[in-house]
Amino acid sequence: MPTGDAAAPSIAHGPLESGLAARLLGGLRGVPLWVERRLDLEREQLALWLPVGLGLGVAAWFALPDRAAWIGFLFLASGVAAGLAAFAPEMRVGRAVAVFALAAALGCSIAWWRAERVAAPVLQREQLGKFDGVVESVQPLAAQGLVRVLVAPAAASGLPPRLRINVEQDKVPAGLAPGAALRLRAWLMPPAPPAVPGAYDFARAAWFQGIGGTGRALDVTVTAPPGPQGWRARLADWRQRLSSHIRSSLAGGEGGIAAALATGDQGGIPEEDAEAMRRSGLAHLLSVSGLHLTAVVGAVMLLTLKLLALSPSLALRFRLTVIAAGAGAFAGIAYTLLTGAEVPTIRSCIAAVLILFGIAIGREALTLRLVAVGALIVLLLWPESLAGPSFQMSFAAITALVALHEHPGLRARLAAREEGLAQKAGRALLALVLTGLAVEAALIPIALFHFHRAGLYGAGANIVAIPLTTFLVMPLEALALLFDLVGLGAPFWWLAGKALGLLLGLAHAAATAPGAVALLPAMPSAAFALMVAGGLWICLWRTRWRRWGAVPISVGALWALAVPAPDLLVTGDGRHLALRTTEGGYAILRSRAGDYVRDTLAETAGSDEELTDLETLPGAACSDDSCIAALAAGDRHWRLLATRSTRMITTADLVPACGQADIVVSERRLPAACAPKWLKADRVLLARTGGLAIRLGEQPQVETVASATGGHPWSQFHALAPKPWRGDKRRRPHR
């Protein structure tokens, strides 16, 4: 029998402790087996996660800050894939995770390669440019009184190879068309980064479009008419003339929407109508996507099938379904080219062609596998589209829709059966309502993340708007264009106008209803990622563990809701700021700020109220050159000093005012003697950080545009954050 130290283990680990340890160890060993059994039940769904892995890698490249982080992610993903392939090749979970990690590494590599491949020179500063160039495309913006021109400057100009120039309507010269040679004098500037954290990043979009600068034309002259045009230029010219013809047949917002449905040109829609469509959740009807392509393809396919079936010999000799599917595919491709072949339309066209191919070979028309293949193709060809709302919204909507209707319980409940007309109508209405709710649930987080607002009545409005657009507006518009060939389209244009009037009336009613719009300040990317991950978990699995997707969705939603609105927003140029008032609204520094600046600041702050003037706040003191205002946050009071003119303020006046302020904001470089108690956001700092979002309290936080853009090739900043609040007495804010 053991004695001494040899007996210690039996004394330290009695029967109870040994049994508990054994059970814990056995439970840990059983986890891989439990996961293995789950994945065996879900083996048909594993392929659906391949585009998710690819998308994770693409998202990681956009989210991570710099080259070192991208390389680290590639090593991590590749290491996970290699390790699991080496040590767990016989387990399904090991193979699945290895393939997922390998797809993530591939996605990060493709996004990085794509960004380097499209690299082109970019303007580094604002300047007045005089140059010759050739027009690549012309986009009329009738509602704004502008024409947007994409110009390729001559090589001798020393400018980037592609510029986007806005020309006022009264300055548009005769003969402005794709292929025309121009001589321009324009005020040019680099592609604009986000004005404040969470705002739209045009610099990123311009980078992947090869646009090296934007500008406003001062003088434009056509020096040579368009020469022999390629098919792209001819198609663009035809699209422009078709849009003009539609707007001449229908006036106002109805004509603008009709042109958008036919050619994808939204420039003729008045801003109040466009805003109503956004607030009501109907804005997706304005951009040519899956809905419009489905209507065109379905109509052509059905018409072809019915016409061919009139011939018994054709019906007996040929598979008419295959011929009709081919005609539908041809119509879909032609419609895609007609509407400009933008990435969202191409994406929808790819999905439509895949569905038609499935119909031709006798497979189910629309499944999650087809959606996954479409997503895979788009991510491989245009990985940058993942970062934009268009890709996210379209694939989220179609994934939610297909997953809902693939659910066995719902499929059984909605299946056709022998029943009365009322029951059939009720079943169809139930399917429509559930579809609308599922799509809205999928789209709301995306809308809140990108636009900081979402229409809460979108599900109800779409129940009416989608059938109205698909089965009434678009067929009437097609008939009107067809009969215009013989000069008899007027009656159909009148009917189409009435139908579009109903659509606009619905949009305005839903947009102005109480509580129509949910508003949220810019949410953390991690919170949005949790909601996306949870949604994919629910949609792509089939067994009961799909319900666990509700956990990350709930955590992400609570996180997003818990983020407080910023107390102060400062644009990257230092000219504009929005200060949170005691009533919860916001006050703006410059009363003459334009609508774009006002909308950007209000949306990013999650406010739907009209911005007031800073000088009207109680206790504010403003002159033509500067403003002083107080802000209460928690139990502290902060003093703000902001300049609002280009006139110099004498050092004798400026230095004491800076010393009494906690925060100083200016669009110009301030002298070193200007030393506020905490933060000096002048031209020097803002050139490094970009716009600021400041949250005050016990531990003030500053979020910068530079931290979001990081070291990506389109970034114009160095990621340098302001010094953190130390809480020491020397820098203590006013109480």
pLDDT tens figures, 650-673 = 888 899 999 999 999 999 999 999
Task: Centre a 10 Å sphere on the Cβ of residue 594 and count the other Cβ atoms it contains.
Answer: 10
Measured CA angle at 180 (ends 263, 132), to 5 deg: 125
Please state the rounded mean pLDDT for residues 157-164. 93
Task: Centre a 10 Å sphere on the Cβ of residue 533 and count the other Cβ atoms it contains.
Answer: 17
- What pLDDT is attached to residue 167? 94
- What pLDDT is attached to residue 28? 42
- pLDDT above 70 for 727: no
- What pLDDT is attached to residue 365? 62
- Distance (Å, whole) CA 635 – CA 617: 19
Please state the rounded mean pLDDT for residues 258-266. 85
Crossing angle (nearest 10°) for helices 343-360 and 320-338: 180
Q: Residue 547 carries which DSSP code?
A: G
Phi (first) and psi of residue 425, to 5 degrees: -65, -40
What is the overall mean pLDDT for the chain? 85
SS3 219: strand
SS3 728: coil
**């902001």: which residue's tokens?**
642
Residues 6 or more apart whose CB falls under 8 angstroms from that of 384 comprise 111, 114, 115, 204, 208
Task: Quote the pTM value.
Answer: 0.86
Cα–Cα distances in angstroms (integers) from residue 212 to residues 160, 190, 207, 368, 483, in the given order: 5, 7, 7, 39, 43
- pLDDT above 90 for 226: no
Please state the rounded mean pLDDT for residues 93-110. 94
The answer to whether the CB of 570 falls within 8 A of the CB of 686 is: yes
- pLDDT above 80 for 187: yes
Look at phi and psi of residue 697 and say left if phi exceeds 0, alpha if psi is from -120 to 50, else beta. Answer: left
- What pLDDT is attached to residue 360? 76
- pLDDT above 60 for 14: no
Structure tokens at 724: 């953190």
Task: Write out 378-436 in H/E/C secondary structure.
Answer: HHHHCHHHHHCHHHHHHHHHHHHHHHHHHCHHHHHHHCCCCCCHHHHHHHHHHHHHHHH
Provide the CATH topology of domain 127-229: OB fold (Dihydrolipoamide Acetyltransferase, E2P) (2.40.50)
pLDDT in tens, 206-215: 999 999 999 9
pLDDT in tens, 280-293: 888 878 777 666 77
Please state the rounded mean pLDDT for residues 43-50. 92
- pLDDT above 60 for 269: yes
More confident of the two residues 94 and 536: 536
Phi (first) and psi of residue 569, to 5 degrees: -115, 130
- What pLDDT is attached to residue 398? 85
- What pLDDT is attached to residue 720? 46
The DSSP code sequence of 25-72 is HHHHHHHHHHHHHHHHHTGGGGGGGHHHHHHHHHHHHHHS-SHHHHHH
- Distance (Å, whole) CA 446 – CA 63: 16
What are the boundaries of each domain within the chain?
16-117, 127-229, 252-519, 525-562, 568-731
- pLDDT above 90 for 318: no
- What pLDDT is attached to residue 493? 94
pLDDT in tens, 522-535: 999 999 999 999 99
Q: Residue 634 carries which DSSP code?
A: T
pLDDT in tens, 392-427: 988 888 889 889 888 877 777 777 777 778 887 888
β-pair partners for 460 = none
- pLDDT above 90 for 457: no
- pLDDT above 80 for 15: no
- What pLDDT is attached to residue 117? 95
